Amino acid sequence: METHDAPLRRTPLYDEHRRLGARIVPFAGWEMPVQYRGLVEEHRAVRTAVGLFDVSHMGEMFLSGEYAGQVLDYLVTSDLSKVAVGQAKYTAACNAEGTILDDLIVYRVARDTWLVVCNAGNRDKIAAHLAHAAENHCTFEDRSDATALIALQGPRALELLARAGEQAARAAALPSFHFTEAVVADVPATVARTGYTGEDGVELFCKATDAVALWTRLLELGRDLGIEPVGLGARDTLRLEARLSLYGNDIDETTHPLEAGLGWIVNLDKRDFVGKAALVAAKERGLARKLVGFEMTGRGIARHGYPIVAADGAPIGVCTSGGPSPTLGKSIGLGYVPAASSAIGTEILVDCRGKAVSAVIVKTPFYKRPTP
């Protein structure tokens, strides 16, 4: 998919993945575990019990100083003045055309300190973008290499976290999209109630040098709960069921957040920000296309890049993500279609390598976790 001249990089947990028998694949310049025991088994563990993910390839960057909040606010689509210390926000950074440089989670660590977590494949781009904006205004620091990120996700994730010490137990009671410092299994960590699976859970930031200790301890503590280490394969099927966007598939520098169904993270009433004028204009023009979810009704599996076609075979859009859904037992996908043909229930065709297979636009998320 992508070519990288630089040698592939490894997270601090690489040897643990090997020890667990993971299949390692290149991903966004990294050698990452795609699966351990099996994609479907790992997927089910996250939906029914708890899964552990190494996502240390993601970028962690800090902006700090009196003007850090204003600098970051100018770079993202959300209104950060509403984000309190200890709160996190899912947002996007756009370019001047209003298309997406990356989707991000920003964390207000202190009044004047912000943590920005970006996708692995966008680390260099976002680091340069933030550093440039910070120049003469605030301090920029890329701590990605020194930081590990471990996600603990699933209906029993918080129960497991609560076993990892007194502070960890307190952190397990945090509301969604809040975070705190806490010692977890004797490792100093930042515990955030965030994730990328559609399940409840946390993401744990720690020092790269503490990653192995935290990882192995969580696997031990969760053994009787049915914990599984989970690779990128199941991470993708989990996020697709929950309709969480994957950068490089569903969103990129050719798509803007409004057509991607991310209007809820765009605040056009806030102060000026990069891409605002373009997004205001796009909204006024009306959306030409929309990212929708669909279910295959014919016999076929839609994959990233397959054309969505009209009854006469003419291309009208493109599938951006697709595959079998382990939870639903059917094949699902996301794709851009003309706004006029984007209503729920609309029948479409996906060109699966020359074979037009029928599908129907459905409501998303495809999967929503049962409310406790």
Partner 1 sequence: MSDPFETKPGYLYTKDHEWVRVVGDLVEVGITAYAVDQLGDITLVDLTVKPGDAVTEGKPFGTVESVKTLSDLYAPLSGTVERVNPDLETRAELVNEDCWGKGWMVAIRPTTPGDTAKLLDPSAYAALLASIA
**Which residues lie near partner 1 (CB under 8 A)?**
34-35, 37-40, 43, 233, 237, 299-301, 303, 323-324, 326, 331, 353, 355
Of 34 and 61, CB closest to partner 1: 34
Of 278 and 318, CB closest to partner 1: 318
CB 322 within 8 A of CB 303: yes
Residues contacting residue 175 through CB under 8 Å, at least 6 positions apart: 193
| CA–CA–CA angle 346, 327, 255 (5° rounding) | 50
Q: Give min distance, CB of 167 to partner 1, in A.
A: 38
Of 188 and 248, CB closest to partner 1: 248
Residue with tokens 């990288």: 4
CA 145 → CA 141, 151, 168, distances in Å? 11, 17, 24
Q: Give min distance, CB of 44 to partner 1, in A.
A: 11
Of 98 and 231, CB closest to partner 1: 231
Q: Give min distance, CB of 188 to partner 1, in A.
A: 36
Of 179 and 367, CB closest to partner 1: 367
Q: Give min distance, CB of 328 to partner 1, in A.
A: 12
Of 25 and 287, CB closest to partner 1: 25
Query: Does residue 281 come out as left (phi exceeding 0), alpha (psi in the -120 to 50 range) or beta?
Result: alpha
Q: Give min distance, CB of 334 to partner 1, in A.
A: 16
Of 53 and 107, CB closest to partner 1: 53
Query: Across the chain, where does the E strand assignment appear?
Result: 23-27, 30-35, 51-54, 59-64, 88-94, 100-110, 113-118, 139-142, 147-153, 179-184, 187-192, 201-207, 228-229, 289-296, 307-309, 315-325, 330-338, 347-352, 355-362
Structure tokens at 310: 């009209």
CA 50, CA 159: separation in Å to the nearest integer? 10
Structure tokens at 232: 């990128």
Q: Give min distance, CB of 352 to partner 1, in A.
A: 8
Q: Give min distance, CB of 301 to partner 1, in A.
A: 5
CA 147, CA 138: separation in Å to the nearest integer? 21
